[in-house]
Structure 1
Amino acid sequence: MNSSAAIGIFDSGIGGLTVAHAVTKLLPNENIIYFGDTAHLPYGDKSAAAIQAYSIKICNVLLQQKCKIILIACNSASAAAYELVKEYVGSKAKVMNVIDPVVNYISENYAGKTIGLIGTKQTVNSNIYRKKTDALDKDITLKSLATPLLAPMIEEGFFNHNISESIIQEYLKNEELNDIEALILGCTHYPLIKKQIESYYKDAVTVLDTSEIVAKSVKEFLSENNALNALNAHIKHFYVSDYTQSFETSTKIFFGEQIRLEYYPLWE
């Protein structure tokens, strides 16, 4: 593995920038290539077959860039396309998702506990978190709730706002999430509303920021394989399959700093 090669990260939109930001914060020397498939967002209401087709197209772009890791920074795509992408990429790059690191974290910290999960319809209906937590045999009870309004609400900039407050509270008071001790933010958009969720629970429930957990798993993999970049990062490319000026402006909220998005017409 070429240690100076970039880490490729993709998502349906800008939600995955929360993961990219966590990775660059923890691994400032790493080169980053990000692809936001904004022409097809959100993935949460797409079929598994459609998500798989989009994911393979994006992987081709990242493989052309010689990425050492391809990180699927989307729970919906991780649920629907991870196994196919891993088989497609083969030994050309390490394929990682945003679900397995979180399941491993739960295994280590929440045996015998009741955990909540909020995410898109695709993520929740896939039952992938439940299957993986059941397979741990750690007596973990998982309570899941689809929260389809949250990702588009965040994409449109409606958070830290009365509208978002009402929607968040309406979801969290659902009886499906009763008696949980921790809550998995099962969508890469959701770290942006973590404070509002924590405020609702008033420290009674631990809110798990999956972007930080995933970034740590990337660092662990690179460390174990002697693939950390020893040089200062000089590549940070951010591509989108559909482009608007307002969309570029909103990425500052997700990434924590102004970045320039480059239009990459995926389907031409």
Structure 2
Amino acid sequence: MNKPIGIYDSGTGGLTVAKAIAEMLPNESFIYFGDTAHLPYGDKSKESIQLYSKRISDFLIGKGCKALVIACNTASAHAYATLTERHPEIPIINVVDPTVEYCVKDKSYKKIGIIATKGTVTSRIYPRKIKKVNPEIQVFQNATPLLAPMIEEGFFNNRISQTVINSYLSAKNFKEIDALILACTHYPLIKKEVERYFKDNVAVIDSASVVATVTKNVLIKNNLLSSSQIPSRQFFVSDYTKAFEKTAKLFFGEKITLKEDRIWD
């Protein structure tokens, strides 16, 4: 089916997921929406995130999207159930469930650490879902509120970012973990720095490639794969700035053209 996939996030972070989907499914078109008017989602209330997600999903489905990817951990935690009820007509993929499934499948992970926004940590969605599958796994999570804004501003792979990352990762409850989940779609851009801190002794898991694989499987299962040889890639934001377009290029890996659509007006 040659209709686009809808992908949304509060800002540029979800572009790591969009990039992974584009690489895994090169024939697929997609429409990306970054809710820059409300970023970051990590410190917003559950009710606000549900409201934003409803409006964005209506916008994307109104543009003919055949599936929806919630490319934000906080929105996945707070709005996934709401959106599946609101839009039963299309498959909806969140970033939490595929990541949890990937982690619990590896029997060597006995102690799992999680870094995420305050919203994701407060929801306790990762510990609940991991423990539901395997109660024996120990889960330790810490909120890392400086990371997403830092990455949005282009601060990664430098001394400033490494110092901030090291400070967060030196928390006592992260001693002797087997794996660390980067539970924010901004964080794949600092994966190398996180691995550097742990000296490659801890498995560092980001959701982008995992979610891309699940998206492919969902499209196959629902007979929704595209046969188009010339995919269309559209990028929308709720509040346009030049700086955002520059940062978006860093996330997606190539120049993209952003269109502003003030869906809140």
User: Same fold judged by TM-score > 0.5?
Assistant: yes
1:8–1:69 contact (8 Å) kept in structure 2:
yes
Q: CA deviation at 1:224?
A: 2.3
Query: Which is worse superposed, 21-30 or 242-251?
Result: 242-251
Partner in structure 1 of residue 123 of structure 2: 126
Partner in structure 2 of residue 17 of structure 1: 15
Q: CA deviation at 1:112?
A: 5.8
Describe how 1:173-252 pairs up with structure 2 within 5 A: 173-252=170-249
Partner in structure 2 of residue 160 of structure 1: 157
**What's the CA shift string for 1:117-163, capped at 9, x where partnerless?**
10000001100011101110352211111100000000011111211
Describe how 1:247-262 pairs up with structure 2 within 5 A: 247-262=244-259
2:26–2:231 contact (8 Å) kept in structure 1:
no
Q: CA deviation at 1:111?
A: 6.0
Letter in 1 for 2:31: I
Residue number among 54, 63, 69 corresponding to 1:56 in the alignment: 54
Work out the percentage of aligned pairs sharing the same amino acid: 50
In structure 2, runs of 5+ residues without a counterpart are none
Letter in 2 for 1:241: S
1:73–1:97 contact (8 Å) kept in structure 2:
yes
In 2, distance between residues paired with 1:47 and 1:233?
40
In 2, distance between residues paired with 1:112 and 1:54?
35
Q: CA deviation at 1:38?
A: 0.2
In 1, distance between residues paired with 2:92 and 2:109?
30
Letter in 2 for 1:137: N
Structure 1 residues 89, 20: closer, same or farther in 2, change over 3 A? same
Residue number among 74, 77, 88 corresponding to 2:75 in the alignment: 77
Q: CA deviation at 1:230?
A: 1.6
- SS of equivalent to 1:38: coil
2:179–2:204 contact (8 Å) kept in structure 1:
yes
Partner in structure 1 of residue 32 of structure 2: 34
In 2, distance between residues paired with 1:217 and 1:164?
31
Per the normalisation by structure 1, the TM-score is 0.96
- SS of equivalent to 2:87: helix
Residue number among 117, 125, 136 corresponding to 1:139 in the alignment: 136
Partner in structure 1 of residue 147 of structure 2: 150
Partner in structure 2 of residue 266 of structure 1: 263
In 2, distance between residues paired with 1:85 and 1:111?
34
2:117–2:144 contact (8 Å) kept in structure 1:
yes
Q: CA deviation at 1:109?
A: 1.2
In structure 1, runs of 5+ residues without a counterpart are none
Partner in structure 2 of residue 88 of structure 1: 86
**What's the CA shift string for 1:169-205, capped at 9, x where partnerless?**
0000101211111110000000000000011111100
In 2, distance between residues paired with 1:216 and 1:98?
11
User: Between Structure 1 and Structure 2, how many residues are aligned?
Assistant: 265
In 2, distance between residues paired with 1:115 and 1:184?
7
